[in-house]
Amino acid sequence: MNNFLITPIEFLKGVGPQRADLLRSEIGIYTFQDLLEYYPFRYVDRSEFQQVTSLTEHDGFAQLKGRIIGVMETGVGRTKRLTAKFQDETGVIDLVWFKGARWIKSSLEANKDLMIYGRPKLFKGKWNIPHPEISKLNLNDLGGFQAVYPSTEKLTSRGLNSKGIAKLIKTVLTELNQPLEDLLSEEIRKEHRLIGRTKAMHLIHLPANEREAQQARFRLKFEELFFLQLELLVRKKITLNKSAGCMMNQVGDKFNSFYNDCLPFDLTGAQKRVLKEIRNDMRTGHHMNRLLQGDVGSGKTLVALLTMLLAVDNGFQAAIMAPTEILAIQHFESISEYMKPLGVEVALLTGSTKKKDRTILHERLLSGDIGILIGTHALLEDPVVFKNLGIVVIDEQHRFGVKQRARMWKKNELPPHILIMTATPIPRTLAMTFYGDLDVSVIDELPPGRKPITTIHRQEASRLRVFGFIKEEVAKGRQVYIVYPLINESETLDFNNLMDGYEAITRSFPSPQYNVSIVHGQMKPADKEFEMNRFVKGETQIMVATTVIEVGVNVPNASVMIIESAERFGLSQLHQLRGRVGRGAEKSFCILMTGEKLGKESMKRMDTMVRTNDGFEIAEVDLQLRGPGDIMGTQQSGDLDLKIANLASDGQLVALARDAAKGILLADPNFEKEENRPVRTKLSAMLRSRPNWGNIS
Ligand code: ADP
Ligand code: MG
């Protein structure tokens, strides 16, 4: 490593011990290198000005030149503000400050040529610019294209606002008297048209125009993502080499006769492809750890069943674990039906399995009599011992914690293969990154003949019409879900809303003509099951519920999903809930009920739901709205520590970088070539610094 770059920050001209303390504590800058890697978050073109009369909201930031012609303070307490009238050659606009009025007022100079920079807002039909940056206009030193850096209040008070930081970075760049080591080989740079590292560092901080900044950004993002992907691939390789798994290299009778004689329909292309991926894994003798993603209704269960049959054919037992008892029972019923002609023994184990039955079950598992065990968490908690467990399928993984999954590993001498099925779509780029050491299979195709669900957004004023619609559907013999947000099951307010809603519904849908079920988290499990079952059996037509129904229940006759206060749900939850309908032959509907006034983001969520049924598209929008941290849990994304790339918006670059990383691993697995030496050095530093990272499953 270049010694210059690891020089502690206090030794930089213009820093000194006090500023160094702040740089370290406020933005984590310890060395010259850290400063170089402190990238601007945007650029401004200081040589171009807009005009007051031609501002539009789409411009984002605007730069104006003119003079202040008046200042006034208005309001008291929380409404207190400072307003300055700013005039250019075309008109006048208000500059507004809600905080720091006194200090700013004393610094505003009337009738001097100024330039201001900020984001114009339209308020009550008039434009204003809140908290603009103001500086004296100096036509000789407009500075042209400039980088803008994030700063903090404390740094700014020490003269390290964006400009101050820019100055320090410029000092480092000027003193840098030898080129930076390029971490990427010439071959990779050529192939992806990447500029060199030294040039990139100059251009990211001091570009002459947007094009140069763009070149630098592309290069640096690529590099960052390349190393991230390389790290993941190497970790995966290490795990793979270490862990032996159950060998399943035969495709036997059960699999074949089920596939050829019992399957009531053809598999979709996507199901076939995924099945092949799984088979290829299981016959290597390595341990499989695979995430199977597929939208609700895409037919994951069948893929799981075929996978389990493969295990049975190779002399192993299989287990499938569902997050709720209802779901386990549903699986049990459909799978035992399928297995009858094949003579594979199927058993059910849940929290309500009687002690006497359990004892028998344990024996039959130990003797190998049972081929497929279906159950809930009870599978983990129970002292269940298998004769030879070869695979565990986990349905709807987000309800299972990491630790619980790990417990399955110990159920056999060799760890059983693990197949995790989830309907919560995770954008591919994220899946690649967060489930780095899990392989990912995707069923991206629905069985033929599914009618897309029609989604409608309605407001309170249309409630009567919505109720009228429910009546029509019920009259046709269909069933209806009405879901209330109970984000926090203990919130009294939410709970009251649910109960009020339930009452209103029983009033509008009186018995004996209608039967209404209710299910929520504060009910006893047995009562929940009872009500769910009434609905499953068609004894009630309307199910009023909280999100407890979110996962997996299959009631093909349900054709309407009404989501109350839909603006309070996240996109992926809305999509999950919608997936509860559209499972039968009937045309299905999802109605999103919201208040009259919606924020921009809520509006976008509603529009997205109305526009598309595609879970992956929805996941992408979700990612853009919420950012990766929120989706995967902040801790994990925090660990990624990306400085310039953005998993939400740089999806294609992630894929490119991953391909490049794969390429280098293939050509030079141990990084022995001279041109890959810098890669090896950097990578081993990364592996050392995050030793346990990526141990997600
Ligand atoms: P999910 O992926 O949500 O778990 P399921 O496995 O429950 O989906 O399948 C949903 C429904 O689609 C089931 O009734 C199943 O029998 C049916 N199904 C699965 N695969 C196919 C296929 N290839 N052709 C037709 N129907 C299918
Ligand atoms: Mg399912």
pLDDT band at residue 541 under the 50/70/90 scheme? very high
Return d(Cα 569, Cα 609) in angstroms, integer.
12
User: Cβ of 341: how many Cβ atoms within 10 Å?
Assistant: 11
CA of 596 relative to ligand 2 center, distance in Å: 35
Instruction: Decide if 288 contacts 440 (C-beta within 8 A).
Output: no
Return d(Cα 94, Cα 128) in angstroms, integer.
5
CA of 301 relative to ligand 2 center, distance in Å: 6
User: Is 241's pLDDT higher than 70?
Assistant: no
When pLDDT is averaged across residues 346-370 and rounded to a whole number, the result is 93
Return d(Cα 137, Cα 88) in angstroms, integer.
13
> In the prediction, which pLDDT does 692 show?
44
Helix (H) or strand (E) holding 198: helix 197-205
Give the residue, by CA position, lying nearest to ligand 1 atom 13: 299
Type of residue numbered 576: Q
Return d(Cα 521, Cα 631) in angstroms, integer.
23
CA of 12 relative to ligand 2 center, distance in Å: 59
> In the prediction, which pLDDT does 685 show?
84
Give yes or no for residue 517 CB within 6 A of ligand 1: no
User: Is 409's pLDDT higher than 70?
Assistant: no
pLDDT band at residue 151 under the 50/70/90 scheme? confident
Give yes or no for residue 423 CB within 6 A of ligand 1: yes
Give the residue, by CA position, lying nearest to ligand 1 atom 23: 267
Give the residue, by CA position, lying nearest to ligand 1 atom 26: 447
User: Is 688's pLDDT higher than 80?
Assistant: no
> In the prediction, which pLDDT does 212 show?
95
User: Is 592's pLDDT higher than 90?
Assistant: yes
Please state the atom number of ligand 1 nearest to the C-alpha of residue 299.
6
Contacts 24+ apart (CB under 8 A), 180-184: 180/2, 180/5, 181/1, 181/2, 181/678, 182/678, 183/223, 183/227, 183/678, 183/679, 183/682, 184/222, 184/223, 184/226, 184/679
CA of 267 relative to ligand 1 center, distance in Å: 9
Please state the atom number of ligand 1 nearest to the C-alpha of residue 267.
23
User: Is 553's pLDDT higher than 80?
Assistant: no
Give yes or no for residue 301 CB within 6 A of ligand 1: yes
When pLDDT is averaged across residues 544-572 and rounded to a whole number, the result is 84
> In the prediction, which pLDDT does 606 show?
96
Ligand 1 pocket mutation pick from 274, 291, 293, 302 by most atoms within 8 angstroms of CB: 302
pLDDT band at residue 404 under the 50/70/90 scheme? low
**Number of the ligand closest to the Cα of 397:** 2
User: 434-473: b or e for each residue (b if 16 or more CB lie within 10 Å)?
Assistant: bbbbbebbbbbebbeeeeebebbbbeeeeeeebeebbeeb
Give yes or no for residue 268 CB within 6 A of ligand 1: yes
CA of 8 relative to ligand 1 center, distance in Å: 60
* pLDDT (tens digit per residue) in 243-255: 778 899 888 899 9
Give yes or no for residue 425 CB within 6 A of ligand 1: no
Give yes or no for residue 594 CB within 6 A of ligand 1: no
Please state the atom number of ligand 1 nearest to the C-alpha of residue 296.
3
* pLDDT (tens digit per residue) in 640-679: 568 888 777 787 888 899 899 999 999 999 899 999 999 9
* pLDDT (tens digit per residue) in 167-207: 999 999 999 888 899 999 999 999 999 999 999 999 999 99
pLDDT band at residue 224 under the 50/70/90 scheme? very high
Q: Residue 477: left (phi > 0), alpha (psi -120 to 50), or beta?
A: left
Please state the atom number of ligand 1 nearest to the C-alpha of residue 294.
2
User: Is 405's pLDDT higher than 70?
Assistant: no
Q: Please, what is the Cα angle at 221 between 216 and 227, to 5 degrees?
A: 130
What percentage of residues in the chain have a pLDDT greater than 70?
A: 88
* pLDDT (tens digit per residue) in 20-62: 999 999 889 999 999 999 999 888 887 788 898 888 765 567 8
Give yes or no for residue 296 CB within 6 A of ligand 1: yes
> In the prediction, which pLDDT does 119 show?
84
Between 87-91, 139-143, 573-577, the lowest mean confidence (pLDDT) is in 139-143
Domains of the chain and CATH, by start: 48-142 (2.40.50.140), 211-243+649-689 (no CATH), 253-443 (3.40.50.300), 454-612 (3.40.50.300)
Please state the atom number of ligand 1 nearest to the C-alpha of residue 266.
23
> Which residues 6+ apart lie within 8 Å of 366 measured at CB?
385, 386, 387
Please state the atom number of ligand 1 nearest to the C-alpha of residue 298.
2
Give yes or no for residue 271 CB within 6 A of ligand 1: yes
Residue whose pair of structure tokens reads 């489930």 in the numeric block: 435
User: Is 322's pLDDT higher than 90?
Assistant: no
Ligand 1 pocket mutation pick from 271, 274, 293, 301 by most atoms within 8 angstroms of CB: 301
* pLDDT (tens digit per residue) in 427-459: 666 666 666 557 788 898 888 877 789 999 999
Looking at every residue in the chain, the average pLDDT score rounds to 85
> In the prediction, which pLDDT does 13 show?
94
When pLDDT is averaged across residues 499-513 and rounded to a whole number, the result is 92
Give the residue, by CA position, lying nearest to ligand 1 atom 16: 299
Structure tokens at 597: 């006034």
> Which residues 6+ apart lie within 8 Å of 269 measured at CB?
445
Give the residue, by CA position, lying nearest to ligand 1 atom 5: 299
* pLDDT (tens digit per residue) in 262-318: 888 899 999 999 999 999 989 888 888 888 988 878 899 999 999 999 999 999 999
The residue ranking higher by pLDDT, 525 or 301, is 301
Give yes or no for residue 265 CB within 6 A of ligand 1: yes
> In the prediction, which pLDDT does 473 show?
96
Instruction: Decide if 256 contacts 246 (C-beta within 8 A).
Output: no
* pLDDT (tens digit per residue) in 610-651: 999 888 788 888 877 776 555 444 334 444 568 888 777 787
* pLDDT (tens digit per residue) in 451-495: 789 999 999 899 999 999 999 999 999 999 999 987 555 567 777
Distances (CA, A) of 613 to 214, 452, 552, 604: 35, 7, 17, 15
Give yes or no for residue 580 CB within 6 A of ligand 1: no
Give yes or no for residue 424 CB within 6 A of ligand 1: no
Q: How far apart are the first and last CA of the chain?
A: 35
